[in-house]
Structure formats: C-alpha cells, structure tokens
Amino acid sequence: MKALILAAGKGSNLVPFTNTRPKPMINVGGVFILENTIRLLKDSGINVINIVVGHEAETIERYFEKGADFGVNIHYFYQNNLRGIGDAVSIAEDRFSPGEYFMLVYGDIITSANIFSHTLQSFNMVKEPIASVCLTPSTKMFGNVYLNNEMKITKIIEKPKKGGLGNYVLSGIFILPSGFFSILKKTKLNMEKALGILINDMGLRASIWEEEWIDVVYPWDILIANKILMDSWQRTSISKSASLKGDVRIEGPVHIEDDVEIHSGTIIEGPSFIGAGSFIGNNVLIRKYTAIGKGCTIGYGVELKNCILSGNSKVGRLSFIGDSVIGSNVDIGSGTMTINCNLDKSSVKSRISGKIIDTGLNKLGAFIGDDAVIGSGNTIMAGTVIDAKVRVLHHYTYPK
C-alpha cells in the first residue's frame, strides 16, 4: 500500500513558527512531525510515500530528498494555490492504480504509538474503506464522526456548529479506494461531501484509536505533542561520542545524540532530549519534557523546563526557559526569564494572528520564532509570541 501525506497547508494559527517553515516541519521530541510520520509509516510496512507540499515546500524537499536516508521512496506533488483538502488529495491521483487502496494521512498529527499500523490492521480485517477516529476532550475544532452499532460511520461533519457535537473526531488517517478520486470530482473537490457519498455508496468503517492523539493547531499544542511523544520512551540512550565531563546526573529516560558536550553539575530529568553537537554548560538544570535541538548552546546555570529549542539556538547563562517553544537560530541573552503563569493562577491568554485566545492552560511561557534575538536581562510575559527575526534590546536600568 502507498501513502499520501498532506503537508501543503500554511498553519496560520501556528505563528510564529509557520512563518518560516511548513507546519509538519515543527520539532517535537527531537524530530520533525513529518519525520515521525514517515518513520511510523515505514515501520508499518509502507515505504512508497507521496507528499503534497505547498507552503515553504523546499524545506521539506531539502530535508527528506527522495527518502533514501529514511528507507522510503518519496514523490512530491505541488499545491501552489491552497484550495483545501479535496484539491490537495486530487493532485496525486495519477500515482494510484484503478482498484488500489491507499492511506491518506494529514501531516500534522502526533500519537503515542503507531496509529498507522493500527489502521492497517483494521483494514486487513474488513477490506473496506477505513477512517481512524478517536476521542478528544473537545470536539468542536475537528471533524465530528457519528457511528452506528456496527462501528460504521453514518455521518461526518467537518466544521461542526455549537450544539449536537459527536463523541468521536477524525484522526486524520483514512484508507480509501482509488475510486475516491472520481467521487471528489463529482463534488467539485469538496472533501466533506465526497466522504458523505463514500459512506452512502460503499460504506466507511471506523478504526477506533484509544491511545494519545493530538492535531497540532496552536503553538501550545506543540508542547502537548512533545509530551505525548516523550511519554512513549522506555529507556535512556546516550551516544558513545557524547562527552559527560565531571558530575552529571541523569534521571529517567534521556536521549543524548552524537558529539554532545555536558559539563559538571548538570542535572537532566527524563524524559528529555539533547540533539547532536549541543553544548550544555556547568550547573544546568534540564527538567522533564525538554527537547534541545541539534547544535544548541546552553550557558552556565540555565534552567530549562518543559520546553523545545529548535536547532542552533543559544540560551545565555542564568536564564529560565519554561513551558515555551523556541525556534531555530534564536539567541537568548543572559539572565532572561520566561514567566509561565499569571499571579492569580488564571489560564494564560495568547495573541495568535491578531486574536486573543484563552489557551486553557495555567502554565505557559513564550513562543519565539526563528532567527530572533532576545537581549540580556529581559522578562517575557506568559503567552507572549515573538515573531521570527525580531530583535529585542537588552533590558537595563542605567543609564536610562
């Protein structure tokens, strides 16, 4: 079976990160979302992968190329004008033969285990079209699914309105017949209507996913996805070329890649990740669910907690970065503090694409885009979004 991954969307609610990269190229647990998807597909026995790209397409192509380094064969299709999911699916029609089934994958999901293998098992039992569905705390943002007693889907509402919401949502994974492309054409590439016709004409069975799942929609979802991925780790992995100098304490599952240098007095609480070529100074505290990307530099006495630093970023000495996501090539000056809660313990609000959104989280730090520079001595309020390439001056009191 071949896979078709949709990775063209811009992800406007994931600023500042999607201003400079495609949504599936966001880091979680030391890997890109799309990289994690491709690895799991390969583990499921799917090694022919078609990817629809659009926004910042060259970032995906440059990293994965033709897929040889990942043990798969990748073909790219281009959605230059983003006209929705149905249009993206139809672009790759020529890659699939009549009578062939294929796996359709939305490119922005993270799960705690291999959901693709689970969906394939469901398909092999019935040899009918399959949609993976799951339970989620809030169903209002996702396609709602309604089932009968035989676990067949009776109705899908892609954009539910208030009231009458279903219990299950689409997980973003389908196994569909090649004839689905003809149905899409009849509906003028309307995905919701096409699935409705498929339900009535051929039937669509539900494959229920009961493990952790998230569709990454907002910047704080990146932290949740990171936790889901790291919670699946069972053991510590330390590269032979990593250098731990002096008294370094490691607790819990920690992944340390090649040529990492960690100095005395550092404490690392797992699950955590340190990418290849990173430098960790003396007396650094790395707390649970921290992912440090490749080539990062962490200065003396820094505390990192439940945060993600993408590749080649720097954090100056005596800083605190908590419950935050930091882009690539970010330079954070010494003594910088991210505040990660409100004094009254209320949920943190964040401004996304000009709108104030209540995150529903009591602990949340900052979101700093690629290539930003944060001067020394700054205090960054909870929920702050700093765009890519922004320069924040040093914060000092004398002279005024």
Residues 118 and 172 in one domain: yes
Does some domain include residue 342?
Answer: yes
Does some domain include residue 346?
Answer: yes
Residues 36 and 178 in one domain: yes
pLDDT tens column, 110-161 = 999 999 999 999 999 999 999 999 987 654 566 688 888 888 999 888 766 6
Does some domain include residue 292?
Answer: yes
User: Residue 10 above 60 pLDDT?
Assistant: yes
| Phi, psi torsion values for 352, nearest 5 degrees | -120, 120
Residues 111 and 70 in one domain: yes
Residues 125 and 243 in one domain: no
| Number of domains making up the chain | 2
Does some domain include residue 224?
Answer: yes
Residues 149 and 202 in one domain: yes
Report pTM: 0.94
* 97, 164 contact by CB (below 8 A): no
Q: What is the DSSP string of 93-128?
A: GGGS-TT-EEEEEETTEEESS-HHHHHHHHHHHH-S
Does some domain include residue 180?
Answer: yes
Boundary (domain end) residue, out of 203, 230, 257 = 230
Residues 300 and 159 in one domain: no
Does some domain include residue 400?
Answer: no
CATH number for position 355: 2.160.10.10
Residues 130 and 165 in one domain: yes
CATH number for position 112: 3.90.550.10
Does some domain include residue 116?
Answer: yes
Residues 65 and 198 in one domain: yes
Boundary (domain end) residue, out of 181, 212, 230 = 230
Residues 266 and 143 in one domain: no
With b for 16 or more beta-carbon neighbours within 10 A and e for fewer, the 163-201 pattern comes to: eeebebbbbbbbbbbebbbebbeeeebbbebbbbbbbee
pLDDT tens column, 202-257 = 999 999 999 999 999 999 999 999 999 999 999 999 999 999 999 999 999 999 99
361 to 341, 365, 376, 382: CA distances (angstroms): 9, 10, 27, 11
Q: What is the overall mean pLDDT for the chain?
A: 94
Does some domain include residue 280?
Answer: yes
Residues 189 and 256 in one domain: no
Non-local (6+) Cβ contacts of 397 within 8 A are none
Q: What confidence category does residue 298 fall into, taking pLDDT thresholds of 50, 70 and 90? A: very high
Q: What confidence category does residue 162 fall into, taking pLDDT thresholds of 50, 70 and 90? A: low
The pLDDT value recorded for residue 132 is 96
Residues 150 and 242 in one domain: no
Residues 360 and 388 in one domain: yes
Boundary (domain end) residue, out of 230, 260, 285 = 230
Determine the structural domain holding residue 344 and report its residue range.
Answer: 237-392
